Every structure is written in C-alpha cells, then in structure tokens.
Structure 1
Amino acid sequence: MAQPRISKAKRRKIAIFLRCMGISFAAWLLFAVSTVQTYTINAGISYVNIPEKKAFHPLQSDTVNIRMKLSGWKIFLKRLHPDTPHIQVDLSGLKTRNFIVFTNQLGYVNRQFPSDNQVVAVSPDTLYFDFSKQTQRKVPVRPVYDMQFKKQYGIIGDTRANPEYVTVTGPLEDVANIEYLETDTIKGINVGADIRTVAYLNKHQKNNITIYPTFSEISIPVGEITEKVVELPLKVENAESYTSVRTLPSKVKVAFLVSLKDYNKWSSRDFEAIVDMESWEKNKVQSLPVIITKIPDYCKLISVEPQNVDFFVRR
C-alpha cells in the first residue's frame, strides 16, 4: 500500500514548528542556567581559634548542610562533578559559652567560597559542645607509605621520623586512647633512592585535639637488593617424649632478598628453621613442614627447599 506523501506546505509548517520548539528550548535553557537558585550541599567542618586550656567534645556530626545561591549553570556543573567542600568554624566564642551559631559566622563562612557562591544558611545553625578536662601527652609518629620500587630495589633499613614524638593536647578521654599518630600516606612510583620528605600528621577526624608539631620529616632508606642462599640445620621442637628424632634431610636451603651493602652481614647464624613434632602427634602427617622462626629485619624470604622433610622417631 503506498504511503501518503506530505505536501510542501505541511513540511514547511513542521519545519517552522520544530524550529520554534528549538528556539523555545534554547531560550528556556539560557534562562535556567542564568537564573540564581538556592542549592544545598553537604560540607565537612574543622575548627580554628580553639580556646586555650579548654578541651571540648562536639555534640553533633562533623558535617553540615550548606544552602547557597548559585547560578543554574554552576548547579548543573556541581551535579555533574559532585564534591564535598570543607569549611572552618571559628570557636573563639566558646570562651564565654558552650555553643556556636552559624548565623553569626555567615560572613566568615562566605569568605571561604568564591564571591559568586553566596552562603545563605547552614543547618544545623547551632553547634553545641561539651567541655572536659584538658591534658597533654607525647605519642610516637608512625610513617605510612605506599611505594612502588624499581626492579631489585626496596627498603633496606629503619624508617625514621624527626621528631619521633609529638605532643597531643585535648580532652583526657580522647588523648588517653591515642597510642601513636600516623602520617598522611607517602607515595612513590619507580623509587630507586632514599626518600626524605615532610609528612603531615593525620588526626583521623579528631577535630577536638591539637598536635604540635603538625608534621614530621620522614627518612626512608632505599637501596639495591639481591638474592642470597644459606643452608640451615633443622631444629626439632616438642620432641621430649622421644629418645631421638632424625630428619631427612637434616638441613634446608633458604633463599632470601637482602640489600647489597648487607650481603656479607647475614649468615646462617642469623636464621632459624624448625620442625614441630606436634604436627605429627596431632595430625599424623607423613612429613613435617619446615618453619622459619628467625629472620633478620629487611630480609625478605623467597623460598625454603625442601618445604617438608621426612623423619625417623625412636621412642
């Protein structure tokens, strides 16, 4: 069946209609992106101007909702690439009371955003704090790192922090639970030389404590490593119930990675390999697994040959 043909007049009307629709949509879109609207985002908070000799506990979450006036275009971009901003809260008012009102700090909050992002309200508007006894404690610094080394390179010594200890000040119940402070993660790719860097200390979201100093200089010795093989005599443990226990073989070969500068430092005396007769008594195994119980620091075990040994028991 032949389809009806559309006349030129109708095609012209459809084209005009579609053109008008396109113009209307473009005009609406231009109006939408240029109009200032109210938009709500979540934000984390941190504290500044903390009163001296006062320790506090926030009695609410460490995030707030911020209502701000933005153009439609900026709202569109924020929805495409959402983020969580961070704002500072001025606690100087806690010298005379136990709460902070955001309405009184809108000017301070707005200065933390671009001039065309106007903050009109923060929810909750009032933050409450519970005061407690303040104390100080020195805790060690623990470096945290995530590095990828060049082939045949690795850490060859103790990682050092300067200072090794920092002073933590805050509420007694919080400070007492802090055994150490970790640094922010030190990262590296294709590392082949010693690392010396300054790393800031991580509060782990404890905004009611202060740290002095807030950073530490971290030194990580990195060097070339190589493989070394030593032969170890096997020791037999938990064999008191037997007259004698003999393993076949009586020695094992241990392969490990060691730094070139320490290659001659370590020998078989610095390692220990054992077999445990409890494995046979409890599980009736046919051969005993070899267990390495002693290995020097910064030596990485590669293999043990053999991993299991036969044995003879005389009762």
Structure 2
Amino acid sequence: MAMVQARITKTKRRKLAIFLRCLVISFVAWLLFSISNVQTYTIKTGISYVNIPEQKAFHPLQSDTVNVRMKLSGWKIFLKKLNPDTPHIQVDLSGLKNRNYIVFTNQLGYINRQFPVDNQVIGVNPDTLFFDFSKQTQRKVPVRPLHNIQFKKQYGIIGETKISPQYVTVTGPLEDVANIEYLETDTIRGTQISSDIRTVAYLNKHQKNNITIYPTFAEITIPVGEITEKVVEVPLKVENASRYTTVRTLPSKVKLTFLVSLKDYNKWTSRDFEAIVDMENWAQNRVQSLPVILTKVPDYCQMVSIEPQNVDFFVRR
C-alpha cells in the first residue's frame, strides 16, 4: 500500500512540475508580447513658445502643461513608468499673426521632431490653445544672482558680487511686466570653494512664457577669500530712555565675535558696530533683562556671537 502511495505522489509531482513550466512559459510569452506590442501612452508635458509674433503681447488662457498621446512599445512604457519625468515641448506661435488660437493637430510634425524617432506623437489634449492679446511694453529690471555655495574651511564671500549686465530688458504684456521688480539667475552652485567664482548664469523667467528677456544671461563674479575670527568690544547705547533720569546697563559693553576677510582684518573696529538696548521693552513688559540688538554691522562681516546676549540694568526715575 505504501508503494502505491509513493507512485501516486511522484505522478502528481511530475504533473505539477509540467504545469508550472507551462505557466512560466506562458507568462514569459505574454510578457514578450506585451513589451513588443505598440500601445497608446499619455504623458504630461510642459510647454514653451517659439516664433512669438513681434509687437504682440499675449496671455495664455489655459495651463502651461498639456497631455501628449503617443504610440510606444510596451517596453518603453514600462521604462517610463519606472522613471517618470515631465518633458517639455515647444509650441510654434507664428500662427498668432492672424488669429488668437493655435491648433496642435497642425503642428504634430513639428512636435514629433522634438521626440525620439520611435516615439510617435498622435495627439495633444487640449488640442487648441487660446490667447488673449494686450499692449506690449518694455522695462529694465535689475538682476539678482542666486547661489548655494559650500566653501572650503575658513573661506567665504569677502566682497560685493559683480553682475554684468546689472539690468536686463523685459518685454511682454503691460500687466505682467509691471509686476516684475527684478529677475533672479539660476542657482549658482559649488562645493569646497576657495577662490573667486566667475561664471555665466541664465536668467530665470519663473515659467512666464509670454515675456522675453534680453540678454538672457549675466556674467557673475563672486569674490572669495580666507576669513578669520575677530573680537571687538562695543559700548551699549540705551534707546527710549528719555523719561528716566539715568539708565545703567550691566555690563556697559558687549563682546562681538565675527568673521572677516584677512585683508580687511584691520579695517573694522568697534566704531563700525553699534549695539543697543531698548527701554520700551521694559516699559511695556517689565522684563528682567534687556536683549542686545545690533543696529550697525559692516558688510561682509558675519556675526558669530554676542556676549552677553541679554544685560541687566538699573533705572533711576
């Protein structure tokens, strides 16, 4: 009886192994068919504008992103889902010379040239972009450089950043240009910096596609040098004390520790700093001690500490 049971078990195992092999083969065949089969895939893309009509300012009347439908192999769709991104497409606005809308169907050839050959764009949603025209104006605005720089130990910025040009011309709809007070550059980055930074940074339009900037970049020079600590003692001044006969702080001076470039070490003295306490804070809140407030610090001197940060005081009415 035991031998019959063993033969049945072996038979079942053989059938199960055959079934599992067939299942794996079927899955692999299905997978190969799926990744080779061409399917329709929709991807969200940002848009920017080219061939903007001269002497015309415009407002897009819809979002600056569209859904692009394209034909892709299953394998490419799988890869895009693993590594999703938001591509950008350019829209040709030359048609706005005689109408206030652009139809994507008429630009599919131009849009397809912006994607790899095996990515066939078949449609865009929405298919039509509408624009509102307004008076065009120009304005000069200052350039502000942005930076995120990590310096080598005991190094830092030691002087004024130089920008060339300091102003750029912005052209676009009156209501948009009027709201632009300045333009920032793309962020300038660096690590372990120990010498002057000289670079070209492009100006950031902050997704305002209906304005143009000239020039589109600025040359940036950031002076970098060795810095060191310096300590000075600064006498405390008392403000809003006219209602009292005398006000005396304890101590009467504070010690300031700051970072300064080696070349300017002897340039700054206690006379270049100002520290105050404000009696208005005591009059209103009856605090036990007064915080020290710095009201004057030279440029490119980086404060490290104030000792003490709060002071005791005596008042004679």
Question: Structure 2-normalised TM-score?
Answer: 0.96
Could you say which residue in structure 1 is the equivalent of 2:270?
Answer: 268
Deviations 1:238-296 (A, max 9, x none): 11111222222221211111111111110111000111111221222222222111100
The DSSP-based 3-state class of the residue aligned with 1:205 is: coil
- Within 2, Cα distance between the matches of 1:25 and 1:242? 91
How many angstroms does 1:311 deviate by?
Answer: 2.1
Describe the superposition over 1:92-118 as per-residue Cα deviations: whole angstroms up to 9, x where unpaired. 111111111101100000000000000
**Amino acid in structure 2 at the alignment position of 1:54:** K
Task: Show the counterpart of 1:178.
Answer: 180
Determine if the alignment matches structure 1 residue 212 to structure 2 residue 237: no
Q: Work out which of the residue numbers 18, 21, 24 in structure 1 matches 2:20.
A: 18
Letter in 1 for 2:143: V
Q: What is the aligned partner in structure 1 of residue 129 from structure 2?
A: 127
Aligned to 2:244: 242
Residue 67 of structure 1: SS of its match in structure 2?
strand
Partners of 2:78 and 2:36 lie apart in 1 by 11
Q: Where do 5+ consecutive residues of structure 1 fail to align?
A: none
Q: Please give the per-residue CA displacement for 1:33-91, whole angstroms capped at 9, x wherever unaligned.
A: 00101111101000000011100000111000111000010011111111111000000
Q: 1:7 to 1:286 in 2, by over 3 A?
A: closer
Structure 2 residue 198 is the aligned partner of structure 1 residue 196? yes
* Partner secondary structure for residue 190 of structure 1: strand
Compute the displacement of 1:236 (Å): 1.0
Structure 2 unaligned spans of 5+: none
2:296 aligned with 1:294? yes
Q: Distance in 2 between matches of 1:16 and 1:246?
A: 97
The aligned amino acid for 1:77 is L
Q: Which residue of 2 aligns with 1:81?
A: 83
Alignment match, 1:151: 153
* Number of the residue aligned with 2:61: 59
Percent identity over the alignment is 81
Per mean C-alpha deviation after superposition, the further-off stretch among 297-306 and 68-77 is 297-306
Letter aligned with residue 238 of structure 2? V
Compared with structure 1, are the counterparts of its residues 8 and 313 closer, same or farther at alpha carbon in structure 2 (3 Å cutoff)?
A: closer
State the match for 2:46 in structure 1.
Answer: 44
The yes-or-no answer on 1:256 pairing with 2:258 is: yes
Aligned equivalents of 2:234, 2:157: Cα separation in 1: 25
Q: How does 1:106-121 map to 2 (within 5 A)?
A: 106-121=108-123
CA distance in 2, matches of 1:288, 1:107: 72
Distance 1:171 1:285 in 2: 54
Query: When the two structures are superposed, what TM-score results if normalisation uses the length of structure 1?
Result: 0.97
Q: Which amino acid aligns with 1:154?
A: G
- The 1:8–1:312 alpha-carbon spacing in structure 2 relative to 1, beyond 3 Å, is closer
Deviations 1:142-168 (A, max 9, x none): 000111111111111111211100000
Paired amino acid for 1:260: L
What is the CA–CA distance in structure 2 between the aligned matches of 1:39 and 1:288, rounded to whole Å? 66
What CA RMSD, in Å, does the superposition of the two structures yield over aligned residues? 1.2
Which residue of 1 is the match for residue 104 of structure 2?
A: 102
Partner of 2:263, secondary structure, is: helix
State the shift of 1:139 in Å.
0.3
In 2, Cα distance between the equivalents of 1:245 and 1:11? 99
Q: How many residues align?
A: 313
* Structure 2 Cα separation of the partners of residues 120 and 290 of structure 1: 67
| 2:280 aligned residue | 278
User: In the TM superposition, what whole-angstrom CA distance separates every residue of 1:172-196 from its partner, at most 9, and x where no partner exists?
Assistant: 0000000000001111111111101
The alignment status of 1:68 with 2:70, answered yes or no, reads yes
Q: Aligned partners of 2:291 and 2:137: how far apart in 1? A: 52
Work out the CA distance in 2 between the residues paired with 1:98 and 1:82.
Answer: 33
1:314 positional shift: 2.2
Q: 1:30 pairs with 32, 42, 66, which one? A: 32
Q: Secondary structure at the match of 2:114?
A: coil
